[in-house]
Chains A and B, each alone.
Chain A
Amino acid sequence: MIVNYLESLIILSAILSLLTMGLNVRWGWAGEFDLAYYAIVAFGAYFGGVLQLPHSHEPTGLGWILGLNLPFVVGLLGGAVIGGVTSLLVGAFALKSLRGDYLSIATVAFALVTWAFLSQLPGLFNGFNGVYGMQQPFADVFKNLDAQTYALILFAVCVVILVIVYVFLEMMYKSPFGRTLRAIREDEFASAAFGRDVYRCKLKAYIIGGVVAGIGGVLFANYLGQWNPYTWAPIETFLLYGAIFIGGQGNSRGVIIGSVILLVLIPEVTRFMPQVPGKPDLFPALRSMASAVLVILVLRYRPQGLLPEVHPRDAGDRAPAPTAQTAGSAANV
Chain B
Amino acid sequence: MVHFMDTLLAAIGFGVVTSAVLALSTVAVGLQFSVTNIPNFSHGDIMTAGAYAAYATGLVVSNIAIQAVAAIVVGGVIAYALNKGLLQPFKRAGARNIMLVIITLSFSLLLQNGILAIFGGSEVFYKLPISAPHHYGPFLFTNQALLIIAAAAVFLVGVRLILKYTKFGKAQRAVSDNPELAQVRGINSNRIIDLTWLWAGAMAGFSGFVFAIQVGAFSPTLGFTFLFVVFSASVVGGIGQIYGAMLGALLIGCGMEVSAIWISGDFKQAVAFIALILTLLFRPSGLFPSRIRNVVEAI
From the candidates A96, A104, A113, A296, name the one contacting B101 in the complex (CB within 8 A): A104
Also in contact, A100 and B97, with CB within 8 A (given A238-B105, A289-B117): yes
- For A226-242 the 0/1 string (1 means CB < 8 A from B) is 00000000010010011
**Is A106 a contact of B107 with CB atoms below 8 Å?**
no
Also in contact, A112 and B273, with CB within 8 A (given A33-B101, A101-B101): yes
**Is B39 a contact of A101 with CB atoms below 8 Å?**
yes
Chain A residues, Cβ within 8 Å of B266: 116, 120
**Is A332 a contact of B103 with CB atoms below 8 Å?**
no
**Is A288 a contact of B109 with CB atoms below 8 Å?**
yes
Q: Interface on B for A, CB 8 Å cutoff?
A: 38-39, 86, 89-90, 93-99, 101-103, 105-107, 109-110, 112-114, 116-117, 120-121, 224-225, 228, 231-232, 235, 264, 266-267, 269-270, 273-274, 276-277, 280-281, 284
CB distance from A171 to the nearest CB of B (A): 28
Also in contact, A291 and B96, with CB within 8 A (given A97-B284, A104-B101, A106-B276): no
Chain A residues, Cβ within 8 Å of B116: 281, 284-285, 288
**Is B280 a contact of A106 with CB atoms below 8 Å?**
yes
Also in contact, A105 and B110, with CB within 8 A (given A33-B101, A325-B96): no
**Is A109 a contact of B120 with CB atoms below 8 Å?**
no
**Is A105 a contact of B270 with CB atoms below 8 Å?**
no
Query: A110: CB under 8 A from chain B?
Result: yes
CB distance from B274 to the nearest CB of A (A): 6
**Is A109 a contact of B273 with CB atoms below 8 Å?**
yes
The count of residues in chain A whose C-beta lies closer than 8 Å to any C-beta of chain B is 49
Q: Interface on A for B, CB 8 Å cutoff?
A: 33, 93-94, 96-98, 100-102, 104-106, 108-110, 112-113, 116-117, 120, 235, 238, 241-242, 245, 279-282, 284-286, 288-289, 291-293, 295-296, 299-300, 303, 324-326, 328-329, 331-332
Also in contact, A113 and B284, with CB within 8 A (given A108-B228, A281-B116, A328-B99): no
CB distance from A100 to the nearest CB of B (A): 5
Task: Please report the C-alpha to C-alpha distance between residue A292 and residue B42 in the assembled complex, in whole angstroms.
Answer: 13
Contact sample, A vs B, 12 pairs, CB 8 Å cutoff: A102-B284, A105-B276, A106-B276, A109-B273, A116-B269, A285-B116, A286-B117, A288-B112, A291-B109, A296-B106, A325-B95, A331-B98
Chain A residues, Cβ within 8 Å of B101: 33, 100-101, 104
Task: Please report the C-alpha to C-alpha distance between residue A281 and residue B122 in the assembled complex, in whole angstroms.
Answer: 9
Task: Please report the C-alpha to C-alpha distance between residue A281 and residue B123 in the assembled complex, in whole angstroms.
Answer: 13
Chain B residues, Cβ within 8 Å of A289: 109-110, 113-114, 117
**Is B281 a contact of A33 with CB atoms below 8 Å?**
no
Chain B residues, Cβ within 8 Å of A104: 39, 98, 101
**Is B277 a contact of A292 with CB atoms below 8 Å?**
no
Chain A residues, Cβ within 8 Å of B270: 112-113, 116-117
Closest to A297 in B: B106
From the candidates A94, A235, A245, A279, name the one contacting B120 in the complex (CB within 8 A): A279
Closest to A98 in B: B280
Chain A residues, Cβ within 8 Å of B90: 299-300
Task: Please report the C-alpha to C-alpha distance between residue A331 and residue B100 in the assembled complex, in whole angstroms.
Answer: 13
Closest to B282 in A: A97
Closest to A33 in B: B98
CB distance from A239 to the nearest CB of B (A): 9
Task: Please report the C-alpha to C-alpha distance between residue A36 and residue B117 in the assembled complex, in whole angstroms.
Answer: 28
Chain A residues, Cβ within 8 Å of B269: 112, 116
Task: Please report the C-alpha to C-alpha distance between residue A292 and residue B98 in the assembled complex, in whole angstroms.
Answer: 17
**Is A105 a contact of B280 with CB atoms below 8 Å?**
yes
**Is B274 a contact of A100 with CB atoms below 8 Å?**
no
Chain A residues, Cβ within 8 Å of B97: 100-101, 332
Task: Please report the C-alpha to C-alpha distance between residue A284 and residue B113 in the assembled complex, in whole angstroms.
Answer: 8
CB distance from A282 to the nearest CB of B (A): 5
Chain A residues, Cβ within 8 Å of B281: 93-94, 96-98, 106
